[in-house]
Structure 1
């Protein structure tokens, strides 16, 4: 094991395993150590990060697992001498076969005084949590903005359309009615846009048993009907995924919006005959998102081999009216994120030229 030196580590005592077993439920890396940095307990997340078993970690010196061990040693000495109740700093954790992992270390003194909790939060995880928090706040702000804006637009829009109709009835020249028809047509188009903006807030949440693969198959049939040539739709399903409670129609619309956006980005590859869209379902365990820890979650990927999301909109792709396509409304992904958030989940995107992966995460029972 990288860094830790313990040729004959003693196994963790039963009492320590029982006392600290709740730490196994955490996504962060946790070790309970003595004042001399020897490990009393290591949780499962730390085992995974270090690439070794709890039996090898317990009894070893945790300081040996860091690229700069003196930082942890100084912190433990300060904690043992009651200089502080908690201390935070950034460090690098050694890993077998991998580059060092940047972590935010939190040292907490406990009772009895010779036991100290060392929590290590991977900085990439911290960045993800911060990003999720910003997305959730932005989604709520967008929701209120859209609802208020849509209501403000509806009233004058109806007046404009009605006035154009009355004006058309008074006109004697057929040529002039072309102008009123333009006004009526554009008013109807804006009304349709407003209705789409308000759709998630109007329709009640219809909860029932959902099989995610039935959702994917429905979307697959719709996509192939629209793009019958030049597109391969691949399926990579984990059929063990259980049904869960949710709104089937909302989830169909969510996956359809993402898949349809992907196909529009694949237009050149479809013309060339080598476009590919993949639906992949998996179960992920002990995952934290939306500031909450879940034992199980659905992980549904919609992957395409298109040009990727433009850099100019990557950070704003779920914002309303933001589109990377000429003539796009910029509402599809906003509605998809709203629908998934109503299922206590979220959508993430990872995109590079040649591969774009939209990942839908939804808690499972």
Structure 2
């Protein structure tokens, strides 16, 4: 794929990397590629970051036909640039595209587009501890048409953002509210796809949890409202004795790449990981019996987010004395060191650019 590059004549002032806010600042350039039915994906280019000009009837505004991904780039101590599990992100983008009736992309082209844009804006990659360059690829439907159908034209775009911690608490434990009123997704729906509708469906619960002093919500299944599913936009793990439990992938939760990384690392350490359904009552019972050692969430944005408190039906429990657990810390250290080139990548997760 031949990518045309047009560099900005007005570079932005870079933010202080020691006080970065997640998703607030964006780099000088963006990647764009068009899709036209009958012609396919075409005209790949890097341009100065700026607003899009779209018709008010553009379909993405009215019918939410869009997908996105999230991954990160890092600079090693030697100055090399690394992407973490970029091939998996490209594959998952296509899984979401298929569910949303969006034409799939050549996954090697996706990697090339990401690498090209990151190289152009490599001076934006922060080096302070806990920081990275967040990469947001996304696809939007662009037909100017008001009617329910799959679009015949699309834009594939990538933007970059230097980021710090996703939660203000950083790696410190967060307080989570168990949501049993609202529903985010059900099997057969779009819960497994990275598409904006999933996140729009989660906003009301998140707002209400925030008013009560909680960082995020723990979602229960959308049918029986009792099985543990996800924490906000992250996958959830419970350490019970010497075993780790995590909900299985059954179509209503995201196939998290950090989730998969954590499972592979844990099993390589000879720790049993059980992917099966468990109820919120069971989780609270584990705590009552003194068996619940740790609860943590995994995701690209936060990597590992320890959970120090859970509130369900006016009953709040404290987990591990509201301190980060041994395994949570070990996973965080291992994943971030692989990402930063400080630990051997024995799983072939790194793409060097």
TM-score (norm 1): 0.22
Which structure has the highest helix share of the two?
1
Query: Rg: which structure is higher?
Result: 1
Higher relative contact order (CA 8 A, sep 6+): 2
